[in-house]
A and B are shown apart, each in its own frame.
Chain A
Amino acid sequence: DAGVIQSPRHEVTEMGQEVTLRCKPISGHDYLFWYRQTMMRGLELLIYFNNNVPIDDSGMPEDRFSAKMPNASFSTLKIQPSEPRDSAVYFCASRQTGGSRFFGSGTQLSVL
């Protein structure tokens, strides 16, 4: 298996623009997680899905952030409008019930 696949690896955008991050979980995994990592706050959970249904989005910083999982093999995290303070590395992870989390390589987002 190729592991959790995220795209793009790097994104540079200007303040106010819409940003969409993409994730393909490992086939057969029924949990999907979105995390954000910064030097100041470390690794924080934003939202997670179980069987494509959002279970807990309490970590989503504000209404500018939204996440979807239209099917078992694809999820998106959207920021609209983006702000400089959103600059961070965004990770997607997946796991099977009872199994370990596997993380993707992340998307490095820079908002200028």
Chain B
Amino acid sequence: TQLLEQSPQFLSIQEGENLTVYCNSSSVFSSLQWYRQEPGEGPVLLVTVVTGGEVKKLKRLTFQFGDARKDSSLHITAAQPGDTGLYLCARSQGGSEKLVFGKGTKLTVNP
């Protein structure tokens, strides 16, 4: 199993601050997905990145896929309490349906 390491594990910030969370692997992956999971709910897909160096924006969220396709980052600008949740990255294993998830970054945005 090719592991995904996410950092930081926990992050607590004030509303309006910017933040970046990271997802790293020791091996190259063909694509990477980012999910957000709110308390008591299942993960919801935010974005899929495929091309090395790719940058995707979703309102205040910016996702970047590393040039070597071994890492990815999620940057949130002017965080809001509604951004609170567990942010998970996931990669497919061997092109199969088996998504391997990182353990996530638990983000708390305080008003």
Q: Does A34 contact B (CB under 8 A)?
A: no
How many inter-chain residue pairs (CB < 8 Å) link A and B? 40
Number of interface residues of B (CB under 8 A): 16
Q: Does A43 contact B (CB under 8 A)?
A: yes
Q: Which of B14-22, B63-71, B73-81, B101-109 contacts A (4 or more CB under 8 A)?
A: B101-109
Of chain B, the residue at the smallest CB distance from A104 is B42
Would you call A42 and B104 a contact (CB within 8 A)? yes
Q: Does B59 contact A (CB under 8 A)?
A: no
Q: Which of B23-31, B50-58, B92-100 contacts A (4 or more CB under 8 A)?
A: B92-100
**Distance to closest chain B CB from A24 (angstroms):** 14
* Chain A facing B: main interface SS: strand
Would you call B97 and A105 a contact (CB within 8 A)? no
Contact with B along A36-56 (1 / 0, CB 8 A): 000000111100101000011
Would you call A48 and B97 a contact (CB within 8 A)? yes
Q: Does B11 contact A (CB under 8 A)?
A: no
* Contacting residue for A105 out of B42, B99, B103, B104, CB 8 A: B42
Enumerate chain A residues within 8 angstroms of B98, measured Cβ to Cβ.
45, 48, 56, 59
State the 6 A-B residue pairs at the shortest beta-carbon distance, nearest first: A103-B42, A42-B103, A43-B101, A100-B45, A91-B42, A103-B43
7 additional contacts (CB under 8 A) given A42-B103, A45-B99, A59-B98: A4-B42, A33-B97, A43-B101, A56-B98, A100-B45, A101-B45, A106-B40
